[in-house]
Chain A
Amino acid sequence: MSEVKFSKEHEWIKLEGEVATIGITKHATEMLGDIVFAELPEKGSKIEKDGTAGVVESTKAASDVYTPLSGEVIDTNQKIVDDPAKINEDPEDTAWFFKLKLKDKSEMDTLMNKEEYDKFAKESSS
């Protein structure tokens, strides 16, 4: 049974065992518009909670991607680098960004559940 959580920087986090899969939310893609470029962290790199972990560029602007959790990058999704439009098409599933082996699982507690995030997203866009 996997758990999905959300960050204030509009990332979603799906936890399976010690591994978190991270991507950006549908709400984030709607704000960004058509995404034309994605840069991901390097496989094997260690990243710290709230640090930058990549960049997405839409036709309108560039936007940093943050990591909501600390850990080691064990996989990245080359498919979204090759075809960034996939991020707009299926942001919360096949267009994930990177997978992290978590350093401290308790960091998950700082994140929002779906209901809290939906409320947050609605408030932050109005």
Chain B
Amino acid sequence: MKETSLINLHKSNGAKLVEFAGYYMPIQYPDGILKEHRFTRTKSGIFDVSHMGQLFIYGDDMLTKDLEKIFPIDLQNLKINQSKYSFLMNENGGIFDDLIITKISKGYMIILNAACKINDYKILKEKLNDSYKLELKENLSLIAIQGPGAKNILGKIIPETTNLKFMHGGDFNYNNFNIYVTRSGYTGEDGFEISIPNEIAEDFTKILLKNGSKLIGLGARDTLRLEAGLCLYGNDLDTETTPIEANLKWAISKKRIDDQYPGSEVIKKQFFSGVKKLRVGIKPDIKVIARANTKIYNDDNKEIGKITSGSFGPSVEYPISMGYIDNNYSSIDTKIFLEIRGKKIAANVCKLPFYQKNYLKEI
């Protein structure tokens, strides 16, 4: 089992550690999920996401062209230090991984899900025919600070980071080490992700803590992303689901819809003709939680879908779920039924996100 460079800090802060994607990770701290969640929404929270893959691919314009044969986004027009959400897909448009690609001066940096990163690396290496140098960094940690207080806290340590725009990054100097900071995250709050050498990750995090932030576990990370309507790979996305079905059409470049990449035929067809199933938000009428794998029925008792993520939303203060539903039932306010502990519970299709996102608006 692997550990991140913050393992001692997690332990000294009383973390409950669990196995996650081959790493010992903090699921929660003594405050618990509800408090950790609300602290992030009202102040700021620190997330150790060092288990995620930080893949660097080095190359020039040729690399951009080759990566466009893999990813459904417009990389030619991506500026240096700009990030975009994208997918690694199979030939059917099914998702191997959802990821963030950032153009850097020497090529690209791609942030991958922990459980997918080894497979992603293999797929990319093979597709790029060993023409480029790929490095899945083991010497870098990834620390996120999220919430309305994140900007001021990080700004005290590195003032220039406060000028970053949403989904943009840059190189910064910290104690003569180079760190790479992007204004991004996965909580629905304004915030930053900090790629930092392992040897200084703990000291850096301690300074964030000293300035009033708190460590937050994976439990609250899950309720935060769910309230924000964001997908969790393995739950809401998998190799059987396309980005269009996942209601992530906005992340597919329309300009590149006629180009070839894995799954491009399926994506083009679904982009223009629609899909059979669609990811939607679901809210039960009563205070009961519909968790992953809960079956969805119509009023004729016909099975029409399945919940893929469900929990209690600590900020909205009601149970929230997302799932895939027959597209005939996907419009907002459609009445549906959820089978929970043998009973049919009435519920409604509702709009996502459950919690209004507070990202930094473009100035």
Contact = CB atoms under 8 A, between A and B. Distances in A.
A126 to B, nearest CB: 14
Contact of A36 (B35, B219, B289): B289
Interface string A37-60: 101000000000000000101011
Contacts, number: 39
A33 B219 CA distance: 10
A58 B61 CA distance: 51
A30 to B, nearest CB: 10
Contacts of A85: 34
Contacts of B288: 37, 39, 57
- Interface class of chain B by DSSP: mixed
B34 A34 contact: yes
B343 to A, nearest CB: 10
A36 B312 contact: yes
Interface string B275-312: 00000000000011101000000000000000000011
A62 interface: yes
B29 to A, nearest CB: 11
A36 B34 contact: yes
Contact of B341 (A36, A55, A61): A55
Contact of A37 (B28, B312, B314): B312
A37 B311 contact: no
Contacts of A33: 28, 32-33, 219
B40 interface: no
B319 interface: yes
B86 to A, nearest CB: 30
Interface in B213-247: 219, 223
Nearest to B318: A36
A59 B291 contact: no
Contacts of A57: 288-289, 312
A14 B352 CA distance: 46
A59 B287 contact: no
Which residue of A36, A62, A85 has the most chain B CB atoms within 10 A of its CB atom? A36
B341 A60 contact: no
Contacts of A37: 287-289, 312, 319
Contacts of A39: 288
A37 B287 CA distance: 7
B289 A62 contact: yes
Contact of B223 (A55, A59, A61): A59
Contacts of A34: 32-35
Contacts of B319: 36-37
Interface in B87-129: none
A36 B314 CA distance: 9
A106 to B, nearest CB: 31
Contacts of A62: 289, 291, 341
Contacts of B311: 59
Contacts of B314: 36, 59
A34 B31 CA distance: 9
B283 to A, nearest CB: 14
A88 B32 CA distance: 11
A21 to B, nearest CB: 24
Contacts of B219: 33, 59-60
A60 to B, nearest CB: 7
Nearest to B34: A34
A34 to B, nearest CB: 4
Nearest to B223: A59
Given A34-B32, A34-B34, A36-B289, A59 B312 contact: yes
Interface string A15-30: 0000000000000000
A55 B34 CA distance: 19
Nearest to A60: B219
Nearest to B288: A37
16 contacts: A33-B32, A34-B35, A36-B34, A36-B289, A36-B319, A37-B289, A37-B319, A59-B32, A59-B33, A59-B34, A59-B311, A60-B33, A60-B219, A61-B291, A62-B291, A85-B34
Which 9 residue pairs spanning A and B have beta carbons closest together?
A36-B312, A59-B33, A34-B34, A34-B32, A57-B289, A34-B33, A37-B287, A59-B312, A33-B32
